[in-house]
Amino acid sequence: MPEVSAITGPVFACHRLDAHTESPERLRLIDGRIPDRVWRRPPVRASVADLLRVHDAEYIDRIAGLSASGAEVAFLTPDTYLAPGSYETALFAAGSAIEAARLAEAGEHSFALVRPPGHHATRNRAMGYCIFNNAAVAAASLLDRGAERVAILDWDLHHGNGTQEIFYDSDRVLFCSVHQQGAFPGSGWVDEIGEGEGRGFTQNAPLAPGATLADLAYVITEAFAPAIVTYDPDLLIISAGQDGLVDDPKAGMTLVPGDYGVLTGMVAEILDRPIALVLEGGYGPSQGEAVQAIFEGLLGDTPSAPDSPPRQSTRSVVRALRLLTG
């Protein structure tokens, strides 16, 4: 069984805006739930060169300038803010995602417990609380270091539109996203499968509201797992957003904390090799318990998969996805 680590530290509390949903409180809930058997590793700062693999130089300069302007807070979008410490915090978020991928390459399951999240950030635009696309930066770093192929599985309630956009025309990253149909940002329809050389290397499973563990498990086992096994990536990265919890303020799915342990165990068995995880969304009171369940899944303490069947609408999504991507 591989070692398991958590990358975390106080730097992630430096990006803050009072009363905002995406706050340091998220990691405080998680910190006390990290099992004793998990190694704690310090955050790592990304370089500008790391960011330039997926983000435009002008965009990076704009973020750095606004964060250093002395203004108490600036808004990049109505829901995405910059405070004086935000640029530095975002660099550590991206760098820690790279480090999680490096540790997984070296044989260790590693979870980068970072904020701000990243999967909505495109090459030149912040959105949905996200500034830099941490998972995409990590994947691009792997490819630059010699990896041939990387897979990213995103189970956040919201579609990872930024990650999709960045790799949409590439066959070197397989992007698989299961999310709630029609939720922010409104993308991630089943017919969005990539273009050019990337055609067929984007897979989206938009689920009707009210999704359960049985629905997500069905998508993973019947659609994503076969695609990932066939693709045979050098590394699998999970964009781990736990806003599918039933008590999350973004609620639309009905998962409970232990369900994320089941999902983690299922994903870890797909390739039977270490995986890297990067924290995305998750804003409810049981977020810490869900992350604890993820660690337990990585440690091998995995509950059984659900016996209940998926909904017919989920079966239809998977059937359409198979037809579109072969």
CA-closest candidate to residue 290, choices 229, 216, 208, 183: 216
Is 199 exposed, middle or buried, given 0-12, 13-18 or 19+ CB atoms closer than 10 A? middle
Longest distance between any two alpha carbons in the chain, whole Å: 55
Tally Cβ neighbours within 10 Å of residue 316.
12
Question: Residue 49 and residue 55: Cα distance in Å, rounded?
Answer: 10
Question: Residue 41 and residue 9: Cα distance in Å, rounded?
Answer: 8
Of the candidates 109, 120, 158, 159, the residue annotated as catalytic is 120
Question: Residue 23 and residue 99: Cα distance in Å, rounded?
Answer: 23
Cis before residue 185, ω within 30 degrees of 0? yes
DSSP string over 69-87: S--S-EEEETTEEE-TTHH
Does the active-site annotation cover 120? yes
**Residues involved in catalysis:** 120
